[in-house]
Amino acid sequence: MHRPDPHSYYDSAQPKARRLQLKLGVDFATKRIDGEVVLEFGANATGLLDLDTKGLEILSVQASGHGPIPWELGEADAILGSRLRLDLPADTQEVAITYRTSPDTMALQWLEPSQTEGKVAPYLFSQCQQIHARTMVPCQDTPVVRVAYKAEVTVPEGLTAVMSAGPAGDEATGDGRHTFRFTMPQPIPSYLLALAVGRLACRDLSPRARVWAEPETVEAAAWEFAGVEDMILKAESLFGPYPWDRYDMLVLPPSFPYGGMENPRMTFLTPTLLAGDRSLVDVVAHELAHSWTGNLVTNASMEHFWLNEGFTVWAERKILRTLHGDDAAALGWAMGQKALEDSLERFANEPHLTVLRLHLTGIDPDDAFSSIPYEKGARLVAALEREVGEDRFHRFLREYMDAHRFTSITTEQFCSFVDAKLPGALVAVNARAYLNEPGLPASAPQFRSTMLDTLTALAAGWAAGERPSASQIAGWSTNELLVYLQKLPRQVTQADCAWLDTHFQLMGRGNHEILVEWLTLAAAADYEPAFPKLREVLLRVGRMKYLRPLYGALEATPRTRALAREIYAAASPGYHGLSRRVVQGMLDKFPA
Ligand SMILES: [Zn+2]
């Protein structure tokens, strides 16, 4: 027996699924999916087959040519779920499993009409990363196993289904429902399975890019993301031709727990990116870059997550630099530095979670999630680039992509490849310190610009009474203001809050990065005029990146703690399970 991934029952000595055929019946009334999955092995398979499941009701298992076969569902592990063990008869080509999902499965969030923009129809979306595909489909739920898939999704008439796959036709079923077909010919890791169902409209942005959203937001989304084709072209100049045919995006309702999820052919995005001024499109650059780093070359398990995220953050800033110049990229790195420092502080007592090459046996990957694989990882990639020079690193990247396309690799495989292609580079940048030691190495690359230095100096003078002039304020871009706010002391006075709101008009900001940074300062200062806005944002938005600092800042005083508990009681039914888990964990640690 060999289980290479601590988060999966997958055994590499057993047969591997090559392709899935899914039939999913979406039932909003019971909040369940009635599913059938056929696992195709691409060859004759035989013997034991261990699959991952969590909260699934298994109804029957049939092996091709053999009829029903026995199955055994193991005890439920809190992190892994239950092992579904099959014993395949000799020469099994494929095996079919019928099952039902539970109403509170982690991968699926079922929204009431009131939780959508249109407020007239329910909505369903999936989020399978880190290890939640097993709550939607019995499968070998590890990135080591890659599968192509076909799917048929049946939904109530009037609703549209989209998946991380190409559309392959649709038709009315005649009983008030509608079936949508999909095909994903390229092999993907299970965490990139994705489904959304709702009242959806779309707009074309280029011959290969389209944005989907509810009809109420689709025009705003098309305007916000109009520049996506330029980004695709820049990304192609870094990595080579776009490998997934189409780049479509779906703007989700506000409870979506992440900024974006790089589901291939259908990036999922939070509506908090619709700032109205295209100031938050860095998230699109990030999800797009995942088309190569993550989706094409994939981490072999969550212990190597930095291979996905570190490269992608580096690429995101590379794309932004070619589109908007050095200053914009330096601001991106500065915002990343803040996120990195916050995460290092959060894990101050768990230094083993601040290394890049993680060891996660017995640890839920959602608990290990932070900005560290993103930002520390990106700094290691940038250090390698600086060491060997931009041109040589660019050639290396192309070779790395070509050698590992459609495979899932470990940190150790990555290091061997670097040693072969860029001998000495890992030692020169002290890669061991990034990979195996806590914190950030002192030698990590710095990213500076004149503007960034000005903002840093101004913010450092806050406590001594220094304030930006009216002309400085008028000249700042959205991201410059954001970096300034991020660099202010975490504890300001209520008078300071009033000054900031008056001079920067913070309360009415449509850009959620600015709004949340402001509300975090205001919450920590127990600044009552901001309470209604705090309540409004926390009731509407379920993005974990925002919930964490806001609820964290509300720990400051008895009054803000009471406010946090009151808002959470009202807001939590609308949050995604992942978000609920994070916030509940924070509130549990509040002083009484
Ligand atoms: Zn990412």
- Could you report the per-residue pLDDT of 371-407, keeping only the tens digit for each? 999 999 999 999 999 999 999 999 999 999 999 999 9
User: How do 67-68 and 71-73 pair as beta strands?
Assistant: unpaired
Distance CA 216, CA 219 (A): 8
| Residue of 245, 268, 255, 135 whose CA lies nearest to 195 | 268
- CA 502 to ligand 1 centroid distance, Å: 35
Q: Where are the beta strands (DSSP E) in 28-122?
A: 32-53, 57-63, 67-68, 71-73, 82-100, 108-111
- CA 260 to ligand 1 centroid distance, Å: 8
**Token couple for 391:** 């041109």
- CA 306 to ligand 1 centroid distance, Å: 9
Please list, in sequence order, all residues whose beta carbon lies within 8 angstroms of the beta carbon of residue 588, skipping any fewer than 6 positions away: none
- CA 78 to ligand 1 centroid distance, Å: 26
- Give the count of alpha carbons within 13 A of 184, CB side only: 29
Q: Count the Cβ atoms, other than its own, within 10 Å of residue 448.
A: 12
N-term to C-term CA, the chain: 49
The helix (run of H) or strand (run of E) holding residue 24 is strand 19-27
- CA 281 to ligand 1 centroid distance, Å: 14
Distance CA 522, CA 540 (A): 18
Residue 285 burial (10 A CB sphere; 0-12, 13-18, 19+): buried
Which of 242, 247, 374, 575 is catalytic? The answer is 374
Q: How far is CA 255 from CA 98, 109, 278, 579, in A?
A: 30, 9, 21, 9
Please list, in sequence order, all residues whose beta carbon lies within 8 angstroms of the beta carbon of residue 322, skipping any fewer than 6 positions away: 234, 237
pLDDT for res 539: 97
Distance CA 252, CA 236 (A): 26
- Residue 405 three-state SS: coil
For the chain, helix (H) and strand (E) counts, in that order, are 20, 20
Which of 40, 117, 287, 480 is catalytic? The answer is 287
pLDDT for res 82: 98
Distance CA 215, CA 134 (A): 32
**Token couple for 121:** 């129809």
- CA 458 to ligand 1 centroid distance, Å: 32
Q: Name the residue type at position 434.
A: Y
DSSP letters spanning 208-277: TEEEEE-TTTHHHHHHHTTTHHHHHHHHHHHHSS-TTS-EEEEEPPTT-SSSEE--TTSEEE-GGG--SS
Chain-centroid distance, C-alpha 460: 33
Please list, in sequence order, all residues whose beta carbon lies within 8 angstroms of the beta carbon of residue 47, skipping any fewer than 6 positions away: 14, 15, 87, 88
- CA 69 to ligand 1 centroid distance, Å: 40
- CA 290 to ligand 1 centroid distance, Å: 7
Distance CA 421, CA 426 (A): 11
- Residues 230-269, buried b or exposed e (16+ Cβ, 10 A)? ebbebbeebbeebbbeebbbbbbbbbbbbbbbbbbbbbbb
Gyration radius (Cα) of the chain, Å: 24
Q: Count the Cβ atoms, other than its own, within 10 Å of residue 53.
A: 25
- CA 362 to ligand 1 centroid distance, Å: 24
Q: How far is CA 329 from CA 270, 292, 315, 317, in A?
A: 22, 20, 11, 6
Residue the block writes with tokens 């008895």: 558
| Residue of 557, 551, 552 whose CA lies nearest to 569 | 551
**Token couple for 459:** 């913010």
Distance CA 71, CA 49 (A): 10
Distance CA 308, CA 588 (A): 32
Distance CA 28, CA 7 (A): 30
pLDDT digits (tens, 9 = 90+) for 130-162: 999 999 999 999 999 999 999 999 999 999 999
- CA 287 to ligand 1 centroid distance, Å: 6
Instruction: Please list the rounded mean pLDDT of every run of 10 residues in the chain (592 residues).
Output: 95 97 98 98 95 98 95 98 97 97 96 95 97 98 98 98 98 97 98 98 98 98 97 94 97 96 98 94 95 98 98 96 92 96 96 98 96 98 98 97 98 98 98 98 95 96 96 94 97 98 96 98 98 98 97 98 98 95 97 88
| Residue of 526, 504, 524 whose CA lies nearest to 515 | 504
Active site residue 350: no
On whether the CB atoms of residues 57 and 102 are closer than 8 A, the answer is yes
Q: Name the residue type at position 447.
A: F
Q: Give the sign of the dihedral formed by CA 145, CA 148, CA 152, CA 156.
A: positive
Active site residue 374: yes
On whether the CB atoms of residues 198 and 160 are closer than 8 A, the answer is yes
Distance CA 267, CA 33 (A): 22
Please list, in sequence order, all residues whose beta carbon lies within 8 angstroms of the beta carbon of residue 505, skipping any fewer than 6 positions away: none
Distance CA 142, CA 160 (A): 29
Max distance between CA atoms of the chain, in angstroms, equals: 80
Across-strand partners of 49?
86
Residue 481 — φ and ψ, nearest 5°? -60, -40
- CA 17 to ligand 1 centroid distance, Å: 26
**Full-model pTM:** 0.96
- CA 325 to ligand 1 centroid distance, Å: 22
Q: Count the Cβ atoms, other than its own, within 10 Å of residue 536.
A: 13
Distance CA 205, CA 498 (A): 42
On whether the CB atoms of residues 396 and 422 are closer than 8 A, the answer is yes
- CA 465 to ligand 1 centroid distance, Å: 39
pLDDT for res 592: 82
- CA 300 to ligand 1 centroid distance, Å: 15
| Residue of 330, 285, 379 whose CA lies nearest to 480 | 330
- CA 313 to ligand 1 centroid distance, Å: 7
DSSP annotation of 404 reads: H
pLDDT for res 194: 98
Across-strand partners of 26?
33
**Token couple for 134:** 């097993």
